Amino acid sequence: MKRPTLRYGVATSAFQVEGAPEADGRGPSTWDEFCARPGAIRDGSDARTACDSYHRFDEDLLQLVDLGVDAYRFSIAWPRVQPTGRGLVNTRGLDYYDGVVDGLLLEGIEPFPTLFHWDLPLPLEEAGGWSARDTALRFVDYAVAVVDRLGDRVSTWATLNEPWCTALLGWASGVFPPGRREPARAWDCAHHLLLGHALGAAAVRAARPGSEVGLVVNLTTVRREQDGDPCAVDVVDAWQNRLWLDALGKGSYPEVLGEPAALRDGDLATIRGSVDWLGINYYTPFRIGAPSEEPAGVGQDVDAYPGAPPFSFRPRGPLTTMGWEVDPQGLVDTLQETAARLPGVPLRVTENGGAFDDDADRVGYLSSHLAALEACDVTVLDYFAWSLLDNFEWAEGWTQRFGLVAVDRTTLQRRPKPSFAWYAEHIAAQRGP
Ligand code: FCB
């Protein structure tokens, strides 16, 4: 069988680029509230203006056209569509995404939306967030509202982005909203996120037959340093990778994690087989060693792996400014391991990129990862570079630069970096004359 040609894209997410938190009836999200907590965001900043993409999508679109991408991955802000997370649909919020989709299609760029990239409507968070089963059901209503409006022009949907972060960083280590340290509830969140994904995916297919619905997960290959406890490696791998892949592929959870209290009969049968494709966000491999005081990378937090025996993350240089080890082979290993664990499911790389102050390092990162991907034996449908724009990097605030395009924080002017030109040339060269 002929291998499909890899398609190239670039990604952003709503909260990180849109700004305009009160425009056209948008409600508050859990991230708005979290940003206002003293000490929650490293530089004390917020995303109230962000890149102002809500008012400047036309400018972003010009960049996308210059880049020559096949597809644009963006996310839809639930609080724009349902300001309280439930009930009446705010059509003015949907108008914005209508314009985004039409603008992309006019330029021959495929819209590739993600329905939930972490910005939960605040009232739902206050009602228990993803630790409450009801949130999964509310997600289904929201997904159907979006697909009713955009499904005539969009056929590929991602339900959730990186549910591991929402569940484990939000509820076990507490560095993301809602900032809780309750590991048992983190497990319930992970389960409800998978359930919401599966029920939402089924509802999208029912509303628009022929839709291709996937889930985006942050998987990575887990390596053991000489002094690392194999059991710690196993538990880290279970939370990070197998939890999602086993549930989707086999309808079971890794034994080492036990079961979430929230699990009900029939849930795993609903989750099993619920993806038409899987999106992998890969940035760095993990290295597990004995406990140490050495600094780990951003998000590499031992508390986010409940039940693991004592261990530490030991990233080896070269590092990005996130403290993440640069390792293109890690991408290949992650893809190979995933293909073996979830056979038969088409794969996409939905995020990959590096935060650097020196843009030459970003070119090095992207070129080495793309070379590894293009040479490897795993079939991947799309590659999305993170990110189109320098943007609000969650708990790191504005301290991290992942963008191919710099955004002046005062004038909001967009300025493509050399890595933008490099990626544009790479895409053009792959397409041939
Ligand atoms: C991923 C997120 C994305 C971005 C990158 C750097 O975990 O999905 O929004 O912040 O990391």
- For 143-212, the three-class secondary structure string (H helix, E strand, C coil) is HHHHHHHHCCCCCEEEEEECHHHHHHHHHCCCCCCCCCCCHHHHHHHHHHHHHHHHHHHHHHHHHCCCCE
* Cα distance between residue 366 and residue 354, in whole Å: 8
Which two three-digit tokens encode residue 277?
Answer: 């494709």
Mean pLDDT value of segment 354-378: 98
C-beta neighbour count of 189 within 10 angstroms: 27
Which pLDDT score, from 0 to 100, does residue 432 have? 74
Domain positions in the chain: 7-431
Known catalytic residue at 18 = no
Nearest to 276 by CA among 339, 199, 328, 213: 213
| SS3 (DSSP) at 280 | strand
Q: Residues 383, 340: contact at Cβ < 8 Å?
A: no
Nearest to 361 by CA among 298, 424, 418: 418
Find where tokens 């997410």 sit.
13
382 lines ligand 1 (CB under 6 A): no
Question: How many residues does this entry show for the chain?
Answer: 433
The ligand 1 atom nearest the CA atom of 16: 9
Residue 2: pLDDT over 70: no
Nearest to 138 by CA among 74, 203, 182, 207: 203
* Cα distance between residue 83 and residue 25, in whole Å: 7
161 lines ligand 1 (CB under 6 A): yes
13 lines ligand 1 (CB under 6 A): yes
Topology given in CATH for the domain delimited by 7-431? TIM Barrel (3.20.20)
54's CB contacts (< 8 A; 6+ apart) are 18, 19, 20, 23, 96
Residue 233: pLDDT over 80: yes
Mean pLDDT value of segment 378-387: 98
C-beta neighbour count of 149 within 10 angstroms: 20
What digits encode the pLDDT tens for the residues 348-360?
Answer: 999 999 999 999 9
Q: Whose CA is nearest to atom 10 of ligand 1?
A: 393
| SS3 (DSSP) at 53 | helix
49 lines ligand 1 (CB under 6 A): no
* Cα distance between residue 7 and residue 58, in whole Å: 23
Nearest to 126 by CA among 177, 160, 75: 177
Maximum Cα–Cα distance for the chain, whole Å?
Answer: 57
Which pLDDT score, from 0 to 100, does residue 270 have? 99
Mean pLDDT value of segment 414-431: 96
State the chain's mean pLDDT as an integer: 98
Cα 265 to middle of ligand 1, angstroms = 33
* Cα distance between residue 154 and residue 149, in whole Å: 10
Residue 1: pLDDT over 60: no
Q: Residues 389, 407: contact at Cβ < 8 Å?
A: yes
180-184 own/partner pairs: CB under 8 Å, 24+ apart: 181/303, 183/306, 183/307, 184/261, 184/306
According to DSSP, the residues that pair with 7 across neighbouring strands are 382
Which two three-digit tokens encode residue 58?
Answer: 């036309």
Q: Indicate the pairing of strand 405-407 with strand 414-416.
A: antiparallel
Q: Residues 8, 69: contact at Cβ < 8 Å?
A: yes
Which pLDDT score, from 0 to 100, does residue 78 have? 99
What digits encode the pLDDT tens for the residues 281-321?
Answer: 999 999 999 999 999 999 999 999 999 999 999 999 999 99
Which pLDDT score, from 0 to 100, does residue 421 have? 98
Cα 373 to middle of ligand 1, angstroms = 20
Q: Report how far Cα 233 is from the mean position of its chain's Cα atoms.
A: 23
Known catalytic residue at 162 = yes
What's this model's pTM, rounded to 2 decimal places?
0.98
* Cα distance between residue 259 and residue 273, in whole Å: 19
Task: Determine which one of 162, 325, 337, 393 is catalytic.
Answer: 162
CA dihedral defined by 326, 9, 387, 205, rounded to 10 degrees? Answer: -110
* Cα distance between residue 410 and residue 407, in whole Å: 9
Q: Whose CA is nearest to atom 4 of ligand 1?
A: 393
* Cα distance between residue 381 and residue 4, in whole Å: 7
The ligand 1 atom nearest the CA atom of 402: 6
What digits encode the pLDDT tens for the residues 88-112?
Answer: 999 999 999 999 999 999 999 999 9
Find where tokens 């630069």 sit.
401
Residue 234: pLDDT over 80: yes
129's CB contacts (< 8 A; 6+ apart) are 30, 120, 135, 170, 178, 189
Cα 427 to middle of ligand 1, angstroms = 23
Q: Residue 431: pLDDT band by 50, 70, 90 thresholds?
A: confident
Residue 219: pLDDT over 80: yes
* Cα distance between residue 281 and residue 117, in whole Å: 13
394 lines ligand 1 (CB under 6 A): yes
Which pLDDT score, from 0 to 100, does residue 4 have? 77
Residue 17: pLDDT over 90: yes
What digits encode the pLDDT tens for the residues 156-183?
Answer: 999 999 999 999 999 999 999 999 999 9
Which two three-digit tokens encode residue 127?
Answer: 């009602």
Cα 419 to middle of ligand 1, angstroms = 19
Which pLDDT score, from 0 to 100, does residue 173 have? 98
Which pLDDT score, from 0 to 100, does residue 231 have? 98
Q: Residue 384: pLDDT band by 50, 70, 90 thresholds?
A: very high
What digits encode the pLDDT tens for the residues 333-347?
Answer: 999 999 999 999 999
Q: Residues 349, 331: contact at Cβ < 8 Å?
A: yes
Mean pLDDT value of segment 114-122: 99
What digits encode the pLDDT tens for the residues 36-95?
Answer: 999 999 999 999 999 999 999 999 999 999 999 999 999 999 999 999 999 999 999 999
